[in-house]
Amino acid sequence: MKNPFEKMPTILLADEIIDKAFRRAEKAASAFTPRGNIVSKARQREELRIRTVSNVIRDNLRKVLNRTPGVSTLPSFYQELLDTLVDKRMFHKALASINWAVKTIRTLEERYVEKVRYSRDPKEIARLRREFYGRVASILKDINDNLEYLNKARDVLKDMPVIDLDLPTIVIAGHPNVGKSTLLRRLTNAKPEIATYPFTTKGINVGQFEEHWLRYQVIDTPGLLDRPLSERNEIERQAILALKHLGKLIIYIFDPSEYCGYPIEEQMHLFEEVYREFGGFPFIVVLNKTDIANEDKIREVEEFLRERGVESLRIAAEKGLGIEELKKRVIKIIKPEMEAIVHNMGRIEGE
Ligand SMILES: Nc1nc2c(ncn2[C@@H]2O[C@H](COP(=O)(O)OP(=O)(O)OP(=O)(O)O)[C@@H](O)[C@H]2O)c(=O)[nH]1
């Protein structure tokens, strides 16, 4: 799946659209040689101007509508992300206003062409055309704020992460500097294509792993699952909701060496919050940096987890220690689900 907003065009603002349409109408009118008497000539020329202005404007606006996915057609993960990044309601309203403008301009076009066709006075005909121009310009000015909004939204949305919604997704969580990116690199392909995307103020890292027919992706969302819930704002809460639609498994990282700068008690506290927030999700908890961590601290964390019935695994992501075992555990959780999908696909194809 690609970024659904990839094809969104740059959006012209009201003044630019009006300018373009009026210029095209003048060009068309000057290249046109009407026939008949003076009234007939005036009618033909002004009808051409009205039709051209209407067509140019509606084509521009329709292009925006056609190349922008409607909010309700998006998979829920992208809906949540859209809301996080730009406000779903405003976005929807902006698109609706463009739709309204297209329809209204079309109606006005028909009405004014008819008036022009019935008029017998060249001056009146020219006045009608100017009146049409005025009304169309004012419609565009009315929706200008929405055009501006969509343009800003486009700049954000076209850089949305390309996350494959069909792949099982593993979400990495833990305090900053515990080794999330290091682990992500270890868990994904030898040459990982870890892309960084604008996401709130930080980025979102995505890497894919493939072994035989099994594929999964790992994402790390700096700034989201690395602080207590109480410190998160509404936007971040929504982004976390987005992760819930996507994630199949959480890998939670502790840094018992405390080199990350967060004491072990604080890490335990955050773990409890994330564990509660993602209740029902499978969790794999790893203790990273065991190459430099103090054995007592490692045991303290292991004890804390054991009391909660949570298994843990010692690793040293930088040196690659424990990674094979971790992959085995990941695959053990992911595989049955993948097999179920493949099995179902086989059944559907066989039917
Ligand atoms: N000694 C040791 N250092 C490690 C290990 N894993 C990661 N580090 C170091 O820890 C630091 C932080 O690692 P990152 O992978 O950048 O941590 P992060 O959690 O992704 O950090 P943010 O993206 O800021 O949240 C880096 O300097 C790594 O080199 C490890 O197993 N052992």
Q: What's the average model confidence in pLDDT over 46-54?
A: 98
Q: State the closest ligand 1 atom to the C-alpha of 319, by its place in the atom list counted from 1.
A: 31
Collapse the DSSP code of 287 into the 3-class scheme (helix H, G, I; strand E, B; otherwise coil) and give the result: strand
Q: Are the C-beta atoms of residues 285 and 312 closer than 8 Å to each other?
A: yes
Tell whether the model's pLDDT for residue 86 goes beyond 90: no
> What is the structure's pLDDT at 350?
55
- Total-model pTM: 0.65
Distance 255 CA to ligand 1 centre (A): 9
Residues touching ligand 1 (Cβ under 6 Å) are 176-182, 222, 226, 288-289, 291-292, 316-318
Please give the domain boundaries of the chain with CATH numbers for all domains.
14-157 (1.20.120.1190), 169-350 (3.40.50.300)
Distance 318 CA to ligand 1 centre (A): 7
Distance 174 CA to ligand 1 centre (A): 11
pLDDT band of 6, cuts 50, 70, 90:
confident
Q: What's the average model confidence in pLDDT over 122-139?
A: 98
> What is the structure's pLDDT at 222?
64
Amino acid letter for position 278? F
Average pLDDT along the chain: 86
With the most atoms of ligand 1 within 8 angstroms of its CB, the residue from 171, 172, 175, 177 to mutate is 177
With the most atoms of ligand 1 within 8 angstroms of its CB, the residue from 186, 221, 318 to mutate is 318
Query: pLDDT higher for 184 or 47?
Result: 47
| Helix-, strand-, coil-residue percentages of the chain, each rounded to 5 | 60, 10, 30
State the Cα–Cα distance between residues 219 and 70, nearest whole angstrom: 26
**Strand (E) positions, the chain?**
169-173, 195-196, 205-211, 214-220, 247-254, 283-287, 312-314
